[in-house]
Chains A and B, each alone.
Chain A
């Protein structure tokens, strides 16, 4: 395209006072209001905010792909000086894919399932520069190699479903890079991926950005990730940009109450559930048609001043003496930003009681067949291998691992949804490993309950909240009369800090966090002693996560519940768990108290996992360890140590022991156990992955 008129010192993308609305039959719903930002050549701009804040809408507006209902009602989007808002479809088509490319959240869904990878890649240069088919395929092969995928010849002839999630995302990135675009829009590119895979993708994106000099618009809800990738950041809240500036400035000297509240609600190293609990943002995100007058954040803001903050629309106010730092707050210059948060309730650490759950040598194998028509040879998936641990009363035991490590299978076996292949599960001195849930008695069922990952799917959409809780009470044979159960239900709503009026509401009238509270109330309806929380907050927004975790902790303190917290999010695990179990490919590779696991010596996998988690703190220095390749399939695990294919310490073990033998569980001091062949000297010499720089 002819872009000779564009001066490279000007912003490559300049959005000015952009407003976007969606039009429904009932009303106009403003999604983005008065949004401005500029991305210079070679710069990476991070767009952060909670779900529904309009960050993806901005991205789609840049692509001019808002669908039938969406419309840009005001403002302009200038790309290389040309206004995208007034372009015809034909002009847009030339820009899309060749000058602006986009990378999406779900790689599987964004690749055509019925087209070969090579054809999907080669299409881009064939459309935009009329390249011959053969040259285009060669270029595709080269770019596939560029995004560090092994065996590019096989990959370009494969279909998307034959690749793993991480590989698919690399293909999507490759597709975006085919035409060497000037601007890359990344919409939550790693949200659907595991942390170690995410680390690889983030590295790749950064390197490629530098290599090709591509500017980036990086959309994410993960502040740590934005800090890793971006130079500049724009924080959005309810359709508006509330703060924008240089990443370091915004992270260290934020000048908007929402940004501050956001940072206080995410578990950073140093946060502790007892001494320094997280502070959740009170209230709920306003719905687009129920936005308050004046400052959108006003009703949830600690610094709110009636009559001033809710009087007029608030403009973006530049912070003097900074690098294009601006805040949409009237009071930013009056607030004492260094003051410690006022209401940090310090809580007692709960004492840990007797053992309530004990697993020994638990194994769970599945038999699967491999042929297209159900034939083929039978294979065994070893979902859990020799799992042994104890959980005590009042304790939080975290089970950490990436997808496919067997943590959900373990939960199913414990709940009785599956029966174990061998080994024993002792629950209050009762052996339950081979009793499926249908045959368990009411006591056992009500004492082991689960809080599920996705609160949106686990509530019956056609039953009121109160009715669902009463139903659970009936099943658990709680209460003697309907009245009794009604009262008990209201008490449960109190327990999870929901207003009693919610008993009459339908699940669709509740927000995600509120639904998860109902899920928790339901789990505790039968006086559960052991609660398995399977990623209970990963589907929720950051500001709500803190509130839900705190709630779980409070209930645990009161009821002395044993909490098995299954998660892939190490930040939250460090924050709330007493002991941690790290799993990899069905094996427990490391177990110990939280401090033991998060400090060296590490199992090599734990080390990599820790280094992969982005931390939103400029003072934290992380060692980068990027794991090569993907998690091996559980159908075909490597011989010897399960982690040997990706282990960077493998060379330190003499005699190729890792290839041959599964390492024994080595007990270090204080009951810290690591399943590794490394010698004690090597363990002793390990350095911590995360260091907090002195202030």
Chain B
């Protein structure tokens, strides 16, 4: 067990290194750095001044060396610019280089300076991540029970009317990307001029002009503001997980041990609850875990659409504003979310299924 986890952790670290390096390399391509120089320095800089700015601000040298600095395994750069002010990675311009530590990368907890937020990356990212965590939690609370219920109801009697209706629903939701379902939901439920809201408002069912709010904020989480973003992300996952659960359930329902149970005289309800359920849930468990990375995907779209200032929104902002350190921070977080959920899924699978032995 420990060896397995240790081996998986080692592999995870390796993948994290490779993936962050790819992101680092791409964000640190020369044109990108020039753009950064012009936005941070002055738009009217000469090409020579841009080159000098890049060197002064530690963006010179090899990519690998800079990646090492960012990681914190290579001493941070320091130099003195033409005005005689000492500058360096690990200390603010003008302060004494002797007092600063020589290593300052993400390993030391220094995730760099965000040009967009005008502050260090880590606290900003942490706050946004917390906001996304709340959103994700509600998505999970809605998505998992709903999808499992739909999947099991559809799968317990393959080909029945319930199955067809629920399967159609699942296929429809999973075939609709978030940027479509989000817009449709907003138009239908959160617009004062189209959809249901004007009607409801006219009939006096709701007090305001709209039923649900089309924007959400981490500071004010209410049922009315949170329903649409949660629903938009959850809908896609519901369809997908329900399809998987249904497939697993139909397979289990044709298994011989289900026949055994039926011919023992067990009633249909008990067959489903006592005999089929646990076996049917083994496969969807992995799928649910695999949904986490997908949720990150949905979060980017939904947070932008509903202007919810979370992780996805931050990612979009970082990319849009050429905020290299913030973007790198986001990628580290994303990589770890994906890898950790994979690890949990593998370990959980072994515990759920007594027959599995990994080797």
How many whole Å from B18's CB to the nearest CB in chain A? 23
Of A90-98, A306-314, A442-450, A615-623, the one with at least 4 CB within 8 A of chain B: A90-98
Is B357 at the interface (CB under 8 A from chain A)?
A: yes
Chain B 235-277, CB within 8 Å of chain A: the 1/0 string?
0000000000000000000011101111111110010001100
Question: Which A93-110 residues have a C-beta within 8 angstroms of B?
Answer: 93-98, 101-102, 104, 106, 109-110
Which among B256, B261, B279, B350 is the interface contact of A372 at CB below 8 angstroms? B350
How many whole Å from B111's CB to the nearest CB in chain A? 33
How many whole Å from A412's CB to the nearest CB in chain B? 20
15 A-B pairs (CB sep. < 8 Å) = A65-B259, A102-B263, A111-B260, A112-B260, A113-B257, A114-B278, A124-B265, A128-B265, A159-B354, A161-B355, A175-B260, A371-B1, A373-B358, A374-B4, A375-B1
A112 touches B279 (CB 8 A): yes
Is A123 at the interface (CB under 8 A from chain B)?
A: yes
Is A115 at the interface (CB under 8 A from chain B)?
A: yes
Chain B 344-359, CB within 8 Å of chain A: the 1/0 string?
0000001001111111
Complex Cα distance A63/B355, Å?
31
B261 touches A112 (CB 8 A): yes
Q: Which chain B residues border A111 with CB–CB below 8 Å? A: 257, 260
How many whole Å from B248's CB to the nearest CB in chain A? 13
Is B3 at the interface (CB under 8 A from chain A)?
A: yes
Complex Cα distance A124/B266, Å?
8
How many whole Å from A77's CB to the nearest CB in chain B? 15
Given contacts A109-B257, A123-B264, A373-B358, 8 further A-B contacts (CB under 8 A): A94-B265, A97-B266, A110-B260, A111-B260, A113-B355, A159-B355, A371-B1, A375-B4
Question: Which A545-564 residues have a C-beta within 8 angstroms of B?
Answer: none
Question: Which B3-46 residues have a C-beta within 8 angstroms of A?
Answer: 3-5, 7
Indicate the member of B7, B255, B356, B359 with the most A CB atoms within 10 Å.
Answer: B359
Complex Cα distance A576/B282, Å?
48
Is A538 at the interface (CB under 8 A from chain B)?
A: no
Residue of B whose beta carbon sits closest to that of A371: B1
Is B2 at the interface (CB under 8 A from chain A)?
A: yes
Count of CB-CB pairs between chains A and B under 8 Å: 100
Complex Cα distance A94/B263, Å?
10
Which among B1, B257, B263, B278 is the interface contact of A373 at CB below 8 angstroms? B1
A93 touches B267 (CB 8 A): yes
Interface size of B in residues (CB-CB distance below 8 Å):
33
A114 touches B354 (CB 8 A): yes
Chain A 122-147, CB within 8 Å of chain B: the 1/0 string?
01100110000000000000000000
Complex Cα distance A109/B279, Å?
13
Q: A112-B261, A161-B355 are in contact. Are A127 and B266 (CB under 8 A)?
A: yes
Residues of B within 8 A of A (CB): 1-5, 7, 159, 255-257, 259-267, 270, 274-275, 278-279, 282, 350, 353-359
Complex Cα distance A373/B275, Å?
27
How many whole Å from B260's CB to the nearest CB in chain A? 4
Q: Which chain B residues border A124 with CB–CB below 8 Å? A: 264-265
Complex Cα distance A68/B1, Å?
45
A374 touches B354 (CB 8 A): no
A110 touches B259 (CB 8 A): yes
Which among A93, A104, A128 is the interface contact of B260 at CB below 8 angstroms? A104
Q: A111-B260, A161-B354 are in contact. Are A372 and B1 (CB under 8 A)?
A: yes
Residue of A whose beta carbon sits closest to that of B264: A97
Q: A94-B265, A110-B256, A110-B257 are in contact. Are A374 and B279 (CB under 8 A)?
A: no
Is A369 at the interface (CB under 8 A from chain B)?
A: yes
How many whole Å from B4's CB to the nearest CB in chain A? 3
A373 touches B3 (CB 8 A): yes
How many whole Å from A406's CB to the nearest CB in chain B? 21
Q: Which chain B residues border A95 with CB–CB below 8 Å? A: 265
Q: A104-B256, A114-B278, A115-B275 are in contact. Are A96 and B263 (CB under 8 A)?
A: yes
Q: A104-B256, A104-B260, A373-B4 are in contact. Are A112 and B275 (CB under 8 A)?
A: yes
Complex Cα distance A374/B282, Å?
20
B264 touches A109 (CB 8 A): no
A113 touches B279 (CB 8 A): yes
Q: Which chain A residues border B356 with CB–CB below 8 Å? A: 372
Q: A371-B1, A375-B3 are in contact. Are A109 and B266 (CB under 8 A)?
A: no
Q: Which chain B residues border A373 with CB–CB below 8 Å? A: 1-5, 350, 358
How many whole Å from A61's CB to the nearest CB in chain B? 12
Complex Cα distance A175/B265, Å?
12
Q: Which chain A residues border B279 with CB–CB below 8 Å? A: 112-114
How many whole Å from A160's CB to the nearest CB in chain B? 9
How many whole Å from A34's CB to the nearest CB in chain B? 26
Question: Which A339-384 residues have a C-beta within 8 angstroms of B?
Answer: 368-369, 371-375
Complex Cα distance A110/B258, Å?
8
Complex Cα distance A372/B356, Å?
8
Which among A65, A104, A372, A374 is the interface contact of B262 at CB below 8 angstroms? A65
Chain A 426-462, CB within 8 Å of chain B: the 1/0 string?
0000000000000000000000000000000000000
Q: Which chain A residues border B262 with CB–CB below 8 Å? A: 65, 96
B358 touches A372 (CB 8 A): yes
A369 touches B354 (CB 8 A): no
Q: Which chain A residues border B282 with CB–CB below 8 Å? A: 114
Complex Cα distance A95/B262, Å?
11
Residue of B whose beta carbon sits closest to that of A103: B260
Complex Cα distance A124/B274, Å?
13
Residue of B whose beta carbon sits closest to that of A94: B265
Q: Which chain A residues border B353 with CB–CB below 8 Å? A: 114
Complex Cα distance A154/B5, Å?
30
A175 touches B358 (CB 8 A): no
Q: Which chain B residues border A101 with CB–CB below 8 Å? A: 263-264
B263 touches A372 (CB 8 A): no
How many whole Å from B358's CB to the nearest CB in chain A? 5
B264 touches A106 (CB 8 A): no
A106 touches B256 (CB 8 A): yes
Which 7 residue pairs spanning A and B have beta carbons closest together? A373-B4, A97-B265, A97-B264, A109-B256, A375-B3, A96-B265, A112-B257
Which among B159, B263, B270 is the interface contact of A63 at CB below 8 angstroms? B263
Complex Cα distance A373/B1, Å?
5
B4 touches A123 (CB 8 A): no
Q: Which chain B residues border A63 with CB–CB below 8 Å? A: 263
A372 touches B357 (CB 8 A): yes
A65 touches B263 (CB 8 A): yes
A375 touches B2 (CB 8 A): yes
Q: Which chain A residues border B256 with CB–CB below 8 Å? A: 104, 106, 109-110
